[in-house]
Structure 1
Amino acid sequence: MADKPTLTTSAGNPIADNQNSLTAGERGPILMQDYQLLEKLAHQNRERIPERVVHAKGWGAHGTFTVTNDITKYTKAAIFSEVGKQTEMLSRFSTVAGESGAADAERDVRGFSMKFYTEEGNWDMVGNNTPVFFIRDPYKFPDFIHTQKRHPKTNLRSNTAQWDYWSQSPEALHQVMILMSDRGIPRGPQFMNGYGSHTYSFINADDERFWVKLHFKTQQGHDFFTNEESREEIGRTRETFQEALYGAIEDGNFPKWTLKIQVMPEEDAVKTPYNPFDLTKVWPHGDYPLIEVGEVELNRNAENYFQEIENAAYSPSNIVPGIGFSPDKVLQSRIFSYADAHRYRLGTHYEALPVNAPKCPVHHYHKDGAMRFFQNMPNPDAYYEPNSFGGPVEDPSRAEPPLKISGDADRYNHREGNDDYGQPRALYDLFDDDQKARLHASFAGSMAGVPSEIIERALGHLAQISPALADGIRGELDN
């Protein structure tokens, strides 16, 4: 048997006895000088960090992204510079509403995030398994999330809160339709698509901007649980997705997705009958067809879940040259809120943690604070900017071209002039009779215990999508 390393304290002091506390005699009290005991207890007290406010329950893995099609006419991003190029990446999937101990197989939207370690910095794609979301104005995000969390008095999840909000927010209907459909409970992360959901910018070498939508299409096919199967599965295990993803990778069945994009010329944004920056809307594929870009393969499980997946911090603010933002209001708010949430949850310098650290050189003037354990400025005199001591400087050549879409700053009513029923109607019309029947049942099930006046308000909106939809749900409610 090979020699084993000697156990030490966190400061490196060898430990002679890891079984017994230091006491004043066999029956005497523990001594305060037993620093090894105090260190062990103190570390245990601090093993948990605040869970994410949303997306608390998650599963992830390492992998690679490979370019399969040339899109350099749309973007100068180095990650897409040549066909065959591979980039390391890290994925994390999650539920939205549940806490860290929630069951994986509950009906919920799934987070779908990928961190690409490019030579020009980290690019984070922070999306969902749906192409739209419940809100189009970020001012409503805290209100919406409160409806997904626990009631402050009962400490129970509340169907009434959900439907009270949804029945007064018709912009949410498109996402609710997807949530209640078969795709609301996938059997595992590998059996669902991922979407950037927002509109982003691609900028090419000639400083031409294109608006883009990102689609990660599963190569495993879509597979889902029905409501009945979900209840049975939750009785079997609360770790369905972790088992599915971890097990597949350990068995060598590496999950894969095909990255495709929709591309809109910058000038088209003022011509479309819908707002192309509206998070509740999709772009018709007939107008902006999917273009293949590359393939994601997840091929390595984390060695330490906490270190590599729980500490993983994704933010839409992490972009690279050739990829930028858009006037999407919700995206604009996420640029701030995601990074700020990580600073609270993990610490000021969370991006220096190994799993978040870029694999390219990093130079900045951020100082001190919690977790300032790294050296990024070898010259101690260059700790401000501008300076005369050779510190990092700006590069004007990296500037993005100016946005051609602008307007007067005001609080615009995001519900005026919007058709919140047409796209959900088109989705409903795509379903066959069996899919519609399951959809009606899912809607009705989610309304259990909801006051009748809220249900009637919701059915009034759903009838504007399709009278058959409202009638089908009403029929389920009456059974």
Structure 2
Amino acid sequence: MTEQITAGPLTTEAGAPVADNQNSETAGVGGPVLIQDQLLIEKLAHFNRERIPERVVHARGAGAYGTFTVTADVTPWTRAKFLSGIGKQTEVFLRFSTVAGNLGAADAVRDPRGFAVKFYTEEGNYDLVGNNTPVFFIKDAIKFPDFIHTQKRDPYTGSQEADNVWDFWGLSPESTHQVTWLFGDRGIPASYRHMDGFGSHTFQWTNEAGEVFWVKYHFKTDQGIKNLTQAEANKLAGEDPDSHQRDLREAIERGEYPSWTVQVQIMPAEEAATYRFNPFDLTKVWPHADYPPIEIGKLELNRNPENIFAEVEQSIFSPHHFVPGIGPSPDKMLQGRLFAYGDAHRYRVGINADHLPVNRPRATEARSHGRDGFMYDGRHGGAKNYEPNSFGGPAQTDRAMWQSTSVSGVTGNHPAPVHAEDDDFVQAGNLYRLMSEEEKERLIENLAGFIAKVSREEIAQRAIENFRRADEDYGKRLDAAVQALRG
């Protein structure tokens, strides 16, 4: 809980009582304002500094607190303590977000949704930073800044440009699967409560015996999937830009606590090398027929933040926040995020962001030798700030949080290893063929409406060709729809 301000006299930031908060001090009636009016100066200076840099991506967000409850025995696969027993509960904070929009953008837009969960475990905070889609547009973090630049405002026009979006997607065929997701029926969730969440990446689980398993997380909404059509979203975004944030807050206020059933897919480590496609490729899913999801828990949100800035805007999530028994995989997108997220928050919120109430561990104490910097609260007192020391300071455990993975070869800018079915189009085609005729029609309509805005024919045709390579009917129908719109 955040600390509450008690009733009593209004004071300055330093605690001195304020005599007049309505009139600034002047040189006589109607005269110029005096610089000695320190309350005025303090208020204006603080007001000028109230904002911190917004997130470059996932700027627009909402969040809530809740609990995660274990419902199955997963100790054969991981030694993480917060997963160690059926019925065990862990406090969580979950932040939802859109990806491309800025802090003032509307909620009801066609965009992936962030699904970031902070587990306040007894072994430290575990952050699972995912989306509402099981895949992503690219498979290597070196392409991420370029991708996001195409989604953000053009440096000349100041607007998102269809030319930029489709030029990049057309030249990056690996995006075909995620684009099919995004422009299908689930591209605009009706609310944050009515969508699934995914860890998206592959992660490592390690049990007490040191055995390694690769896992994928799924959060299945218990409220049921509900989505908006493009027309419904356009209307809602104009009438109520805060629709999704408002829906989440008001549902919790009514006591209608949203929940998700948590599942994992588990792959024994030895199967990864010979699996039919690269299991660490973020543009692909693991078919459920190969690795059926196993229910492991229930996540419920039951408490709203008391201050949006302090608890949502200043909340930080980083994929490198692991706990013993859980670790990274060779997923090249995940590897890049292990650095990028922590670095973004050090820039945005400050080097001591982890000390803020929403970010600090709840079920244990952070015992590090990090000191000083902006907003340092002096919590370490006069304790020594180095390790090893002989003054009783915290020391290393000598037990790695996750198992090492073997590597070989020479350094270089290598693409990921190629597996038998490592194709950029097969899963996009499979997804298309799973759709009903009505779903296909809406998908084609959504895609064609955006591609038709592209000014250069070769960019439009290159994009369409990627969908044709996923499925001939997919590309043919899309081409016809685009040409009809372009006249």
Deviation for aligned residue 1:4: 4.5
* Corresponding position of 1:311: 314
* Structure 2 counterpart of 1:332, from 330, 335, 355: 335
DSSP 3-state at the match of 2:333: helix
Deviation at 1:368, TM superposition (A): 1.4
Partner of 1:412: 414
Query: Which deviations, in whole Å up to 9, do the C-alpha atoms of 1:165-203 show, x marking residues without a partner?
Result: 000101111110100001100011111111111000111
Which amino acid counterpart does residue 164 of structure 1 have in structure 2?
D
Between the aligned partners of 1:135 and 1:419, the Cα distance in structure 2 is 13
Alignment-derived partner of residue 469 in structure 1 = 474
Q: Partner letter of residue 474 of structure 1?
A: D
Q: 1:50 corresponds to which letter in structure 2?
A: P
User: Is it true that 1:322 corresponds to 2:325 in the alignment?
Assistant: yes
Distance (whole Å) between structure 1 residues aligned to residue 400 and residue 173 of structure 2: 41
Correspondent of 1:179 among 157, 170, 182: 182
Task: Compute the displacement of 1:219 (Å).
Answer: 0.8
Are the counterparts in 2 of residues 352 and 374 from structure 1 also a CA contact under 8 Å? no
Give the deviation of 1:30 after TM superposition.
Answer: 1.1
Aligned length: 475
Is 1:379–1:389's contact at 8 Å kept on the other side of the alignment?
Answer: no
Equivalent positions of 1:228-377 (< 5 A) are: 228-359=231-362, 360-376=364-380
| Deviation at residue 252 of structure 1 after TM alignment | 1.1
Residue in structure 2 matching 1:454, options 444, 448, 459: 459
2:78 partner amino acid: T
The reply to whether residue 188 of structure 1 matches residue 191 of structure 2 is yes
Deviation for aligned residue 1:373: 1.4
Q: What's the offset of the Cα at 1:251?
A: 1.2
Q: Give me the whole-angstrom Cα distance separating, in 2, the residues matched to 1:335 and 1:365.
A: 21
Tell me by how many angstroms 1:399 deviates.
4.9
Percentage of pairs with the same residue: 51
Deviates more, 1:399-408 or 1:274-283: 399-408
Residue in structure 1 matching 2:133, options 123, 130, 134: 130
Residue aligning to 1:55: 58
Q: What is the identity, as a one-letter code, of the residue corresponding to 1:256?
A: S
Query: What's the CA shift for 1:217?
Result: 0.6
Does structure 1 residue 151 correspond to structure 2 residue 151?
no
Please list the CA deviations of residues 75-125 of structure 1 after superposition, one character each: whole Å capped at 9, or x if unmatched. Answer: 110111111111110010000001111111110011110101001100001
Aligned equivalents of 1:259, 1:59: Cα separation in 2: 20
SS for the counterpart of 2:114 is strand
Within the candidate set 430, 435, 439, 2:439 is matched to: 435
Contact 1:171 / 1:415 at 8 angstroms: preserved in 2? no
Structure 1 unmatched ranges of 5 or more = none
Matched, 1:216 2:219: yes
The residue identity in structure 1 corresponding to 2:273 is V
Displacement of 1:235 in angstroms is 2.1
Shift of 1:452: 1.1
- The whole-number CA distance in structure 2 between the counterparts of 1:160 and 1:121 is 45
Residue of structure 1 equivalent to 2:398: 396
Q: Which stretch of the first structure deviates more once superposed, 401-410 or 262-271?
A: 401-410
User: Shift of residue 244 of structure 1?
Assistant: 1.3
Asked if 1:204 is matched to 2:214, the reply is no
CA distance in 2, matches of 1:453, 1:99: 30
C-alpha distance in 1, partners of 2:18/2:273? 69
Which AA in structure 1 matches 2:405?
L
> 1:352-409: per-residue Cα shift (whole Å, max 9, x none)?
0110001211111112111111413x443x2122222222111113453321455443
Q: Residues 124 and 315 of structure 1 are in contact (CA less than 8 Å); yes or no, is this contact kept in structure 2?
A: yes
One of 45, 69, 74 as aligned partner of 1:71: 74
Q: 1:66 to 1:281 in 2, by over 3 A?
A: same
What amino acid sits opposite 1:394 in the alignment?
A: Q
Check the 8 A contact 1:350/1:356 in 2, yes or no.
yes
Does structure 2 retain, via aligned residues, the 8 Å contact 1:50–1:345? Answer: yes
Cross-structure match for 2:3: none
Residue segments in structure 2 that go unaligned for 5+ positions in a row? 1-5
Does the 8 A contact of 2:77 with 2:206 survive in 1?
yes
In structure 1, how many angstroms separate the alpha carbons of the residues matched to 2:133 and 2:408? Answer: 28
Q: Distance in 2 between matches of 1:401 and 1:475?
A: 52
Deviates more, 1:142-151 or 1:415-424: 415-424
Partner Cα distance (1:296, 1:38) in 2 = 46
Q: Aligned partners of 1:370, 1:448: CA distance in 2, in Å?
A: 49
TM-score normalized by structure 2? 0.95
The CA distance in 1 between the partners of 2:242 and 2:403, in whole Å, is 46
For 2:403 and 2:184, the matched residues in 1 are separated by 41
Instruction: Tell me which stretches of 4 or more aligned residues in structure 1 moved more than 6 Å.
Output: none
Aligned: 1:226 with 2:229? yes
Indicate conservation of the 8 Å contact 1:123/1:319, yes or no. yes
Give me the whole-angstrom Cα distance separating, in 2, the residues matched to 1:47 and 1:300.
25
Choose the corresponding residue for 2:18, options 15, 27, 32.
Answer: 15
Q: Do structure 1's residue 426 and structure 2's residue 418 form an aligned pair? A: no
Residue identity matched to 1:251: R
Instruction: Tell me, yes or no, if the aligned pair for 2:327 and 2:401 is still in contact at 8 Å.
Output: no
* 1:207, distance to aligned residue in structure 2 (A): 1.2
